[in-house]
Amino acid sequence: MTQRWLVTGCSSGLGRALVERLAAEGEQVVATARRPEALVDLVERHPDTVRAAELDVRDPAQCRAAVELAVGAFGGIDLLVNNAAYGQFGTVEEVSDTELADQFDTNVFGPWRLTRAVLPLWRAQRSGHALFVSSVAGMVPFPGLAAYNASKYALEGAAESLAAEAAHLGVKVTILQPGGFATSYSSKLRLPEVRIDDYTPVSGGMLGALRGMNANPEINSPELFAEVVWRLSRLESPPLRLPVGADSEPYLEAAYDARRSEYDDVIKAGHHTVA
C-alpha cells in the first residue's frame, strides 16, 4: 500500500537517501530542505509522487506550509521523519547560551513544532507514524558534544512522551539511533566561539575522530539508513527504539550495562533512602 511521507533535512545525507529510496518504491513524499533547489532533480524524476518544500524547522510558518502542501498534494501524511539536525561541538563551559539555544531550536524545538502541526491530521484519521532521528549520542555521552548530546536526550524524551500520549489514537513512534554514517555531519560540525585549553585532553580526540569519520572505510552508508527506515515503515508494530548501523549496537549496549550497574550499586549501597 502506498504511504504518504513528510521528510525533513533532505538536501543530502540520510534524508536525501531516504527520499531516493521512497521515490523508487512509488511512495508519495514531501521532501523538505532549507535550500529546495537541491531537490529539483528528485521532483523532475518523480513528478507524480515527490514534492519539494522549503523548510527551516525553526520557522513555524514554514512548518505549517509543509504540512499543508502534503495535504494538498497527497491528501495527508502517514509518516513524518524528523531528520533535520546539526552538531554543535564544545564542552558545557565552552558552549554559549546562543549556541545552546540554536542547537535546541533545530534539533528539539523544530521536530516538536512540526510534529505538533501533523498531530491534528493523525487524530482525525486515527493513524500515523512519527520517526525521530536521534543518535547513539541520545544515550551515550561523548566529551565535547555536550549540547548535541543534550539535544538528542531531549528529543528522545519528547518522543517517548508522545508514544505514551498518542498510542490510543493510533499514533506510532520510533526513535532511530544511528551510529556513524557517511554524511556531511562532521564537516558541518559547528565549533564554539570560545575554546578552553583545559578541556583539550578530553575533547580534542573526539573532535579529531569526528573530523576523520568519513575516512573510515567501514562507515555506514546513507543507503543503509534508507533501507532500515523503509523496512520499518512496513511493520505493523514498529519498535519504540531502533539502533541503525552495526556500530551503534556496542555503544548502546555499553550504555545500558553501565546504567544498570550504576543503579544496582546505588540501590545496594542504600544511597537512595534515609535509614
> Domains of the chain: which residue ranges?
4-247
Q: What DSSP line would sit under 200-244, residue for residue?
A: HHHHHHHHHHHHTGGG-TTPBPHHHHHHHHHHHHT-SS--SEEEE
pLDDT band at 271 (very low <50, low <70, confident <90, very high): confident
pLDDT band at 274 (very low <50, low <70, confident <90, very high): low
Q: Which residue in the list 11, 135, 151, 152 is annotated as catalytic?
A: 152
- Is 268 annotated as catalytic? no
Q: Domain 4-247, what architecture? A: 3-Layer(aba) Sandwich (3.40)
Please pick, among 11, 134, 135, 233, the residue that the annotation labels catalytic.
Answer: 134
- CA-to-CA dists, residue 2 to 17, 70, 161, angstroms: 19, 14, 28
Annotation says 251 is catalytic: no
Residue of 11, 135, 148, 151 marked active site: 148
- The mean per-residue pLDDT over the stretch 105-112 comes to 98
pLDDT at 269: 85
pLDDT attached to residue 21: 98
Provide the 3-class DSSP secondary structure of residue 82.
Answer: strand
Task: Please report the pLDDT score of residue 275 as a whole number.
Answer: 58
Tens digit of pLDDT for each residue in 115-163? 999 999 999 999 999 999 999 999 999 999 999 999 999 999 999 999 9
Residue 172 has, within 13 A of its CA and on its CB side, a CA count of 19
Asked if residue 267 has pLDDT above 70, the reply is yes
- Active-site annotation holds for 134: yes
Is the pLDDT score of 258 beyond 90? yes
pLDDT band at 206 (very low <50, low <70, confident <90, very high): very high
User: How would residue 263 be classed by pLDDT, with cut points 50, 70 and 90?
Assistant: very high
Distance from C-alpha of 23 to C-alpha of 18, rounded to nearest angstrom? 9
